[in-house]
Amino acid sequence: MTMHSFWLETAPGRPYPVLAGNVEVDVAVVGGGIAGLSTAWELTRAGRSVAVLEADRVAAGVTGHTTAKLSSLHTLVYARLSSSAGAEAARLYARSQQEAAEHVARTAAELGVDCDLEPVPAFTYAESDETAEKVRAEAEAAREAGLTASFVTGSPLPFPVAGAVRVEGQAQFHPRKYLLGLLEAMTARGALVYERSRVVKLDEGTPCRLTTADGATVTARDVVVATHYPVFDRALLFARMEVHRELVVAAPIPAERDPGGMFITTEQGIRSVRTAPYDDGRRLLIVTGESFKPGSGGAGERFARLEAWAAERFGADRIAYRWAAQDNDTTDRLPFVGPLHPGARHAYVATGFGGWGMSNGVMSGLLLAALIGGEDRPWSGLYDPRRLHPLREAGPMLKLQASVARHFVGDRLGSGPVGTVADLGPGQGAVLKVGGQRSAVYRDESGEIHAVSAVCTHLGCIVGFNDAERTWECPCHGSRFDVDGSVLQGPAVDPLRRLSADADGEPGADESAAGPADTGNREQSEG
């Protein structure tokens, strides 16, 4: 199964250098996705010197694999938020999200960035009568929160719905084209951007100091950690965040079959739909869904279900692109944007966007730039990572930690789909117990065996194999690794230990001369 993102293929961008030596700036931003780059842009145009450090390529991680809906209608958020936190919280959420969406349009126009921005309505729809009642309540709550929302019983979709929330004034865009435009604008103003520069240590002194895996450093008065899942978690945010992964398929359709909007339903394991401009006057149908926990397996089957749904509902019989994205939900379903921990004075974080990273990423940039500049926003308290609401969060937190505990213990006791290395076919991977240790073993298409420790280097859970993306994934906190053990996605910053293989292909001794122990990020082991 070929995996590639439409956004990355159609906007490749230019490379940026690896950080070497030492750099001093006003603000250092760790993470080059939409949250990090939006923050860097706002600070740069405010006159501050900024350095962005990205572990891989800028705007190519989660942001390069999004669905790219620029919407303030986030499934069923307003009814839930109004009930749990009150009407004012819902109004602040709506204002902050809509402001972010409109800010993208203004910024793109100001900079002359052609990012395929298309104004379209957004819909949350239901096919069952039971879900339709939830949708009706959401329409009322969204309208009371200040959005131009209405409950409708029909939609432009090519199949009947039992009801839908319709919100006007939303948009869809090409996230890479937009962010590459921001990069050109900020570097022209003096911002520094570094790729393949993984940050592994943060010293919150005066000033702060960041260190990369290669030993290079950045000194800055303020630091923003915008790595999707925080690689530095001094406030134990990982105990209040749950990771899920969703799959995306995209297929060209005739322009006349474009439903002309953005659509999502909570039914069938999530189904999200939008289109984008394509070649020869056609549209690219983009369908997202099949939400699952990283490392739980079965990604190939999930892709098949999603493709079958796209073919049945839209006649999309030729899949041109497949990719996947990862998101974090907080226990109270609101992002964490603000000071990194209760004692932080110059360290900030942006995370927990719950699948709505486009508006939340831009919102984070606006909010963090204001906080660093000594200003405030009406919704600062709403998103403050230091908040804790025991009554609202106790149940989700206990459920989340119970799930982590089950994986931490149960995955060490259970057996995989095969018993030995000899049972693995080409393109297959499994966690096997060899020589008393859990080994993550993969056989490539040529028959060669790749073996690494199955113990995640973040906090020691056992990874699982993703058969569609050919990756090892941690079910506890979402770290992802290539078959050679290298880090693809945090919070882990250190690779899985490589293991040698004997003549029969069985994993053997530790092949990595250097590196940390199986458990604990380098940041944590260094204090």
Query: Which structure tokens are listed for 41?
Result: 């842009």
Q: Which CATH architecture has domain 6-65+176-239+333-389?
A: 3-Layer(bba) Sandwich (3.50)
* Per-residue pLDDT, 437: 79
In the chain, residues under CATH classification 2.102.10.10 are 413-525
In the chain, residues under CATH classification 3.30.9.10 are 117-172+241-330
* Per-residue pLDDT, 409: 47
Give the span between the Cα atoms of 98 and 94, in whole angstroms. 6
In the chain, residues under CATH classification 3.50.50.60 are 6-65+176-239+333-389
Half-sphere exposure (Cβ direction) of 215: Cα atoms closer than 13 Å: 0
* 3-state class (DSSP) for residue 52: strand
Residues 51, 57, 62, 64, CA torsion sign: positive
* Per-residue pLDDT, 516: 38
Residue 294 CA: distances (Å) to CA of 289, 430, 506: 14, 15, 26
* Per-residue pLDDT, 421: 81
Residue 265 CA: distances (Å) to CA of 62, 131, 363, 366: 21, 9, 24, 29
According to DSSP, residue 17 is labeled P
Q: Which of 211, 214, 188, 174 is nearest to 67 (CA)?
A: 174
The class that CATH gives domain 117-172+241-330 is alpha beta
Token pair 């909570």 in the structure block, residue: 266
Token pair 């004034």 in the structure block, residue: 169
For 421-457, b/e burial (b = at least 16 CB within 10 A) is beebeeebbbbbbbeebbbbbbbeeeeebbbbbbbbb
- 39 CB neighbour count, 10 Å cutoff: 29
* Bridge partner residues of 138 (DSSP): none
* Per-residue pLDDT, 275: 98
Give the span between the Cα atoms of 94 and 418, in whole angstroms. 49
Give the span between the Cα atoms of 204 and 339, in whole angstroms. 12
Local mean pLDDT, 10-residue blocks, the chain (527 residues) = 90 96 97 98 98 96 95 97 95 98 97 98 97 97 98 96 97 98 98 97 96 97 94 77 92 96 93 96 96 87 95 94 93 93 95 95 98 96 86 57 50 56 86 82 90 89 90 89 90 88 56 42 35
- 70 CB neighbour count, 10 Å cutoff: 28
| 417: preceding bond cis by omega (within 30 degrees) | no
**Who contacts 102 (Cβ-Cβ below 8 Å, separation ≥6)?**
none
**H or E segment and range at residue 64:** none
Residue 67 · residue 75 · CB < 8 Å: no
* Bridge partner residues of 208 (DSSP): 220
The class that CATH gives domain 413-525 is mainly beta
Token pair 């969204």 in the structure block, residue: 142
Indicate the burial class of 15 (C-beta count within 10 angstroms; 0-12, 13-18, 19 or more): exposed
**H or E segment and range at residue 351:** strand 347-351
Identify residue 340 by its one-letter amino acid code: L
